[in-house]
Amino acid sequence: MIECETKLRIWGNSIGLVIPKEDLKKENLRPDQFVRVIICKKKMLKVKDIFGKLKNWSKSTEEIMREIDNDLDSKWL
């Protein structure tokens, strides 16, 4: 099963979509084969949807940056 995000494009009087070649190879799909497609519109995230979600945020930016530095140091050493 292939799950990917792609952009709809206009082809003549129709609209089509492009499936990445790497995904086609994984499923061994070739031109002229029939496939079943399920299409779901991608929901765009808006600032108003997340505004105010971090009211109880207790860490300072400096603390967060120190944690990130420590994580990166431990992965690269």
Residue range 10-52, pLDDT digits in tens: 999 999 988 889 989 999 999 899 999 888 887 777 777 777 7
- Is the pTM for the entire model greater than 0.75? no
Instruction: Tell me how far apart the alpha carbons of residues 77 and 72 are, in angstroms, rounded to a whole number.
Output: 9
pLDDT band at 77 (very low <50, low <70, confident <90, very high): low
Which amino acid makes up residue 54?
Answer: L
Give per-residue pLDDT as tens, 49-76: 777 777 777 888 898 899 888 888 776 6
Q: Rounded to a whole number, what is the distance in angstroms from the first to the last CA of the chain?
A: 38
